[in-house]
Structure 1
Amino acid sequence: MLQKSLVELIEKMQGKKIMVIGDMVADVYLEGEISRISREAPVLILEHSIENVVPGGAANAVHNGATLKGTIYAVGVVGNDFAGQELSRVLQSKAVDTEGLLLDSSRPTITKTRIMAGGQATVRQQIVRIDKEKKEKLSFEVEQAVKSYITEYIKDMDGVVISDYGSHTVTPSIIEGVITKCHQNNIPCMVDSRYNVMSYHGITVVKQNESEAAAAVGDDIKDRATLLHAGKTILEKLDAEAVLISRGPDGMSLFEKSGKVTHIPVTNKSEVYDVTGAGDTVVATMILALAAGASYEDAARLSNFAAGIVVKKPGTATTTPAELRQAIDEHFE
C-alpha cells in the first residue's frame, strides 16, 4: 500500500548521512516600513527594523535535509563576512555539520539581499534585490581543500547531493571526483544544476525543472512529446539511473533507466502559493528517501508531497517529518 510505504520511509530516512556539495547562498532579508519620500531624490525612505539571514542555494537543500531529520554535512565555500558567519550559525543551529564550509577570505559569501517593505495596512513587498558574488572560479588551494574534505568523509555517507547554482563552487574536477567516489562506494548521488547539468555524466539521479531541462537539450518543452524527448535525452546522455523533471502546477515526471516513465500530479494544485526553493526541498527529500532504500518512484512521490507543503509557505521554506506524515494521511483519506 502506497500510503503505508511512504509513511514508513519518513521514519527510515531520519538520521541518514547526506553530504550536500555546492553553492552556499545567504538569502538576506532587510525589513522595514516606508516612512516618507526623500528630499534628495524621488525615492522612498525605508526605516530599517530587522535583518534576517535564511539559507539559500545549496544551503537551502542542506536546511531542508536537516529539518527532515537527516544528518547533513554541508560542503562549500563562505567568505570572511557577516553573511558567511550567520549562514554557518543558522545551519549549526539545525545540527548541520559545517566543518566542510571552508573559509575563503578572497571572495564574499554568495549573498542575495532583498529589501522588503510594508506597513500595518499594506502588503509586505520586495522593493529590490542586491546580489553579491565573485564570478571567478575557486583558487587551486581552495579547490584542493574542498576535494580533500570530500575525499575524507564521502565514503561514510548514505547519499550525496551536488547543488550547482552556477556560482563556480562545483568545479569539473570536483564533479568527476564525487561521481567516481560515489560509484566506488555504491552511494546514490543526485545533482540539481541550473546551467550545467550535461557535465554530470554517470550521476545516479538528475533533478531539473522544465526550463532547465529544455535548455539542457536545446529544445522547448511544449507538450507531452517534447517532455518525453527531454527526459529520455538527459537520461541517456548522462547514463543516469533516473531523471526527475518538476513541472510546476503539472506535477513531476520521472524517467528511469528501465524505460519506465511516471507522471506524478501535484497534491495541492489549487493552493500553490510560492515555489521559491521548492526544488531544494524535492532534492533533499528524494536523496534521503533513496538513502533509506526507497525505489525511485516512491522517493519521487515522497518529494512531491514535500514540495506541496513548502509551496504553501512564503519564501524559501522547509518541511518536517510530522508535516509530511500529515500531508500523506490527508491525501489518502
Structure 2
Amino acid sequence: MQTLLEILPKLKNKKIMVIGDMVADVYLEGKIARISREAPVLILEHAAEVVVPGGAANATYNVAALGGEVFAVGVVGDDYAGSQLRQELSAKGIHIEGLINEVGRPTITKTRIMAGGQATVRQQIVRIDRESKAPFSEETEEKVVQYVKDNLKNMAAVVLSDYGSHTVSSHIRENVIDYCKEAGIPCMVDSRYDVMSYKGVTVVKQNESEAAAAVGLKTINTASLRQAGKIILEHLDAEAVLISRGPDGMTLFEKNGRISDIPVTNKSEVYDVTGAGDTVVAAMTLALAAGAIYYDAARLSNFAAGIVVRKLGTATVDPVELKEAIGNHQE
C-alpha cells in the first residue's frame, strides 16, 4: 500500500493523449405530467437537459480528475452536442485542439430520456443514438494522424479508447502504435469489439465478456479466463493485459509470464458500474506514465474503480479520494 501512496503525487501534470470515440451523453429530464390521450404513453414536462462526456471523452475526464494534463483527439460535429462537449472538456482544462470537425458528420450522441416525479425514482425510459456509420474522409484521418504526430513526442502515455464508433480506424491505429514505439512511451488500448486488431500496443484493458468474445468464447470461467488472457497477450505482442472481472476483481497478465489476481477493494457498495472501465484505464495509464510497474499500476486502477462504482452515472475519482481509500485499506 505504501508503494501506491508514493505513486499518487507523481500522477500530477503527466501529459496523456486520449484518442477515440468522443461521445456526448445527453440527458433529457422530464417530470411525469399525465398519460397521453393519443397513445398509452407518458407525457413529460421538460425539466432539464444536461450534456456530459461519454466514451473516450469520459476517459479524458477521468485522467484530468486524477491530475493529468489531457489532450483529447477525435472527431466532433459542428452541432449543439459537439459545442457542449467541447465546452465541458475545456472547462476541465482538457486540450481540445485535437478534436477535428468533419463537415456533415454529427457528434456521436447518446440521448437518454429520463422520467420521474416527486414520489418516484428517476428512470431511463428510452435512449436515442445518433452517429454516422460512414468512414472518415482521408482528409479527416490525415488531420488526426498529423495532430498525433506533432504532439506525441511531448506525451508521457497514450490511450486508445475504442467504443466501436470507428474513430480509431486501421490507419490511425497503426500510426499511433508505431509513433508510440518510436517515442518509447506506453500505449494502452480499451476496445469494446476489436481489440485483436491492436497488434503491438503496450497494454490492453478488457472486461470478461470482451475478452471472451475476442478469443471466440461465449462464456468465461477461471480456466478459460487464463487462456483468453494469454491468447490476447501473445497475439498482440503486448507487455500486459488487464481483465476486469466485476465482483471478482481483476487479473493481470504480463509478458514475463506472471499472472496476478487482484481482489476488489470494495465489496459492499456497488451502485453503478457505468464508465468504471474508463476510470481503470485513466488510473493505470497515469500510473505507468509516472513510472509504476504494471502490477502496481493495475492495483491503483483497482482502487479507483472501487471508488467510482459507488457513484451514480459516469463519474470520476480524484487523488484525495484515492489516497483515503488506499490509506483505509492499509489500516
TM-score, normalised via structure 2 length: 0.99
Shift of 1:221: 4.3
Matches within 5 A, 1:49-198: 49-198=47-196
Residue 277 of structure 1 corresponds to which residue in structure 2? 275
Equivalent in 253, 256, 259 of residue 258 of structure 1: 256
Residue deviations 1:202-250 (CA, integer Å, cap 9, x gap): 1000000000000100024432110100000000000000000001111
Give, in whole Å, the separation in 2 of the partners of 1:5 and 1:137.
Answer: 45
Residue 212 of structure 2 corresponds to which residue in structure 1? 214
Could you tell me whether the CA contact under 8 Å between 2:241 and 2:252 is conserved in 1? yes
Could you tell me whether the CA contact under 8 Å between 1:310 and 1:319 is conserved in 2? yes
Query: Which residue identity lines up with residue 166 of structure 1 in the other structure?
Result: G
Root mean square deviation of aligned Cα: 0.8
Give, in whole Å, the separation in 2 of the partners of 1:8 and 1:81.
Answer: 44
The answer to whether residue 309 in structure 2 is matched with residue 311 in structure 1 is yes
Residue deviations 1:8-37 (CA, integer Å, cap 9, x gap): 211101100000000000000111210001
Give, in whole Å, the separation in 2 of the partners of 1:233 and 1:203.
Answer: 14
Work out the percentage of aligned pairs sharing the same amino acid.
Answer: 68
The answer to whether residue 323 in structure 2 is matched with residue 325 in structure 1 is yes
Shift of 1:6: 0.7
DSSP-derived class of the 1:99 partner: strand
Could you tell me whether the CA contact under 8 Å between 2:202 and 2:239 is conserved in 1? yes
Shift of 1:5: 1.3
DSSP-derived class of the 1:166 partner: coil
Residue 225 of structure 2 corresponds to which residue in structure 1? 227
Residue 241 of structure 2 corresponds to which residue in structure 1? 243
Residue deviations 1:147-172 (CA, integer Å, cap 9, x gap): 11011001110000000011011110
Give, in whole Å, the separation in 2 of the partners of 1:65 and 1:228.
Answer: 29
DSSP-derived class of the 1:59 partner: helix
Query: Which residue identity lines up with residue 165 of structure 1 in the other structure?
Result: Y
| Greater mean deviation of Cα atoms: 61-70 or 264-273 | 264-273
TM-score, normalised via structure 1 length: 0.98
Structure 2: 5+ residue stretches without partners: none
Structure 1: 5+ residue stretches without partners: none
Residue deviations 1:177-200 (CA, integer Å, cap 9, x gap): 111111111000000001110011
Could you tell me whether the CA contact under 8 Å between 1:221 and 1:227 is conserved in 2? no
Residue 9 of structure 2 corresponds to which residue in structure 1? 11
The answer to whether residue 165 in structure 2 is matched with residue 202 in structure 1 is no
Query: Which residue identity lines up with residue 153 of structure 1 in the other structure?
Result: N
Query: Which residue identity lines up with residue 239 of structure 1 in the other structure?
Result: D
Query: Which residue identity lines up with residue 112 of structure 1 in the other structure?
Result: K
Query: Which residue identity lines up with residue 127 of structure 2 in the other structure?
Result: R
DSSP-derived class of the 2:292 partner: coil
DSSP-derived class of the 1:21 partner: strand
Could you tell me whether the CA contact under 8 Å between 2:208 and 2:220 is conserved in 1? no
Which ranges of 4 or more aligned residues in structure 1 deviate by more than 4 Å? none
DSSP-derived class of the 2:287 partner: helix
Residue 298 of structure 1 corresponds to which residue in structure 2? 296
Give, in whole Å, the separation in 2 of the partners of 1:110 and 1:57.
Answer: 9
Give, in whole Å, the separation in 2 of the partners of 1:272 and 1:258.
Answer: 34
Equivalent in 24, 27, 31 of residue 26 of structure 1: 24
Shift of 1:313: 0.4
Give, in whole Å, the separation in 2 of the partners of 1:185 and 1:202.
Answer: 14
DSSP-derived class of the 2:220 partner: coil
